[in-house]
Amino acid sequence: ISVDTDTQLVESFVKEVGVTYTILLDPSHRVASDYAIWALPSTYIVDEKGMIVGAR
């Protein structure tokens, strides 16, 4: 989840680095709030049902 408000910056970074996993853009912090993410960086693995299956 990226909470950056500059989504173009995130998209450029993803292309430049060659990220192959899904990045969720969350500039409004709604999803971060739903998952109680208060510290960055945080890593969460979310399954297809929206359940957190791993965190670091």
Q: Render each residue's pLDDT in the chain as its tens digit; 56 residues.
A: 788 888 899 989 999 999 998 888 999 999 889 888 888 888 888 899 989 999 88
| Sequential DSSP letters for 40-56 | SS--EEE-TTS-EEEE-
pTM of the model: 0.62
pLDDT, residue 24, reads 87
Q: Which residues contact 20 (CB under 8 A, 6 or more apart)?
A: none
- Residue 46 has a pLDDT of 87
The residue to which tokens 């299956």 are assigned: 53
Domain limits, the chain: 7-55
Residue 16: per-residue pLDDT: 96
Euclidean distance between CA atoms 42 and 40, whole angstroms: 5
